[in-house]
Structure 1
Amino acid sequence: CHKKKLMQGGSVARAILESEKFAVRALTRDVTRSNALVLRDLGAEVVKGDLNDEASVEAALKGTYGAFVVTSFWDHHSKEKEVCQGKLVADAAKRLGLQHVVYSGLENVKRLTGGKLEVGHFDGKGEVEEYFWSIGVPMTSVAWQLTLKTFSPSLPMGDIPMDGISVADIGAVVSSIFNSPAEFLGKAVGLSAEALTIQQYADVLSKTLGKEVRDAKITPEAYEKLGFSGAEELANMFRFYHMKPDRDVKLTHRLNPKVKSFNHKFNSLK
């Protein structure tokens, strides 16, 4: 959703401002939004723009060293529109000679599985990432999945651990990547605070809520028949998670030594 996109951008902007190694220009569709005002008060230059508008993207990127880029699937539920956004930004970054783009991407599941699985909100980001590489933009891609606010004991993972990280911890990771171009330019990085089974996540909930929470042991086949919008796509996402996409817990903790566990984050929300 647009909120998660804002949260990612805000987390990264805050971390970079705190590092004091770069000035920050934040692009937003609504400069009066509270998140934008907070960033402005912290010292960011906040400008109005839209990833669907080439002129505003060009203006936002002009004169910058690099950019953190988040395209949006959930605004319109269209892989094609997300790919158009990404290509627009990539072309502008190439044209303007940006030295380092960090793209919040995900794997192209359809390509990786030979068409057996389609996960629209992954595949579009994967196509964008591949386009950045193909036109020679100096880039690092970061892939991760959120578990803190999306966790449910009815996720079809079986006994396979599922990686997770809080969006609040992404900013410091991305800031570290910008500060280490020699190590990360041209790399795809999978982020994770920890990898736990659904029952291990449920055990955290049980302990903190004071009542038993158990893994429902639902299968992907049963999950996709639950009938809600997007159930089939999410079931395919979990089938892809069964393939254990590359997420590096050790590297994530090196890039952000303060990264929090699910247990710590959940308890901090109580």
Structure 2
Amino acid sequence: MSAKKIITVFGATGAQGGGVVDTFQSDPKLRDEWVVRAATRDTSKDSAKKLASAGVEVVFADLDDKASLVSAMKGSYAAFGVTNYWERASADVEIQQGRNLADAAKEAGVQHYIWSSLLNIKELSGGELPNVYHFDSKATVAGYIRESEDGFLKQVPPDNNFALAFPVAPNAIVPVFHPADTGKYIKAIVHNRDALPGNRFLGATAYITAAEVLEGFKRVFPEAGKTARYFQMSEQMFRDYLEAKGTPDCIITELYENMKLLETFGYYGGEPLDTTAKLVEDHLTTWEEYARNVAPGFRSCT
């Protein structure tokens, strides 16, 4: 029997979090598959002690302290995040707490992060109802979480289907490189010093096209990939997207030319990866392995 997964529940002594804990504790199938970890700011209060006595792991977490959130979620497969606007009645506080939770979930390696959100009423009403802050602040956090997804392969409105959007043609060549593989390349270099005097050593698992990036995503996540599509952005769309994220113009230009390099001169000038393939002894991370096991933006796809 496989090991149980951990779900960390924030607000576990409150209404929403408490409901999550109760469901996972009372449902026989969930009990067989999951271990519940209850995160609370005060582990000494009666409600927290009651959870502990029922077999729930109770840990300390303060939404204003990201380090405590990372610690609370360490080792968790899933996490449920919720904030209480009315505790301080401050949109700024709730947004920061929501961002702390999201950032901590990513840092802790949580694979499935669930955020308790509401609609953005200011947008929904076209500005007619601009003061429903306890809705809008949660929606702002939801937007922040989506923007934190990996690169340009993400869910897009209105249908929330996945799209890979690049300002290059789908046949542009992309080198697959995972930073964690760097040690494997250095190992190959030091073991083959005589064969590589002054030579360039290319760090990449393989060359694949932008279209193959999307196809790999579809294979790893067949459900989410059913409606995934490739979209070739115009230069202006690319610039508008990054400008909206606060990226300086000079950086936008640099990133755009970096993307165009993929379909013109080539990331490595078109040089083959034969030397890498021959000299690296260890397994190098493929794009599909990265998507499945590393990329935080895809954790909700599993």
TM, length-normalised to structure 2: 0.43
Structure with the greater relative contact order (CA < 8 A, sep ≥ 6): 1 or 2?
Answer: 1
| Bigger Rg, which one | 2
Q: TM-score, normalising length from structure 1?
A: 0.48
